Chain A
Amino acid sequence: MTGFDLDAAWRLHPQVSVRPERFGALLYHFGTRRLSFLKSPALLTVVRSLESEPSARSACVRAGVGASDLPAYTRALARLADSQMICGRTAA
């Protein structure tokens, strides 16, 4: 897993569809044909707010992620970045 810059600007990849579920959400990437299960509604809130927040860190704060949970959410976002579900806002 690559390092994840929590203070950078991120966004949902344009080829990714989001389906909210009771457990969180399903993400499907039409380019890689991969599915990701977000097993936390708060993580869905984070992912959805990435586009409008200046950084992933502020998206986490906006979603109510506490300091004690931030490392786990950072790892989750890193995994989503590795699988191209999210991308840097300057990237396509």
Chain B
Amino acid sequence: MPDSAADLLERPESEIAETEIADVQQDELVAADLLVEEISIDGMCGVY
């Protein structure tokens, strides 16, 4: 699991497993439609 969503942004795509993105999504699905899906990462990492 990534340290944070920002961590996903800083790493090469080839190093990111799809399950890591799924883990982030599982934390809090705020809203979704066909074009935009939003999540909050508050409270998911505890590293800040």
Chain A residues in the interface with B (C-beta under 8 A):
17, 19, 21, 26, 28, 30, 32-40, 43, 72-73, 75-76, 79-80, 83
Contact = CB atoms under 8 A, between A and B. Distances in A.
Chain A contact residues: helix, strand, loop or mixed: mixed
Interface in B10-48: 13, 24, 30-31, 33-42
Contacts of B31: 79
Interface residues of B, number: 18
Chain B contact residues: helix, strand, loop or mixed: mixed
Give the one of A21, A28, A32 with max B CB within 10 A: A28
B35 A38 contact: yes
Given A30-B6, A43-B35, 8 more contacts: A19-B9, A28-B9, A34-B30, A36-B37, A37-B37, A38-B36, A39-B37, A79-B38
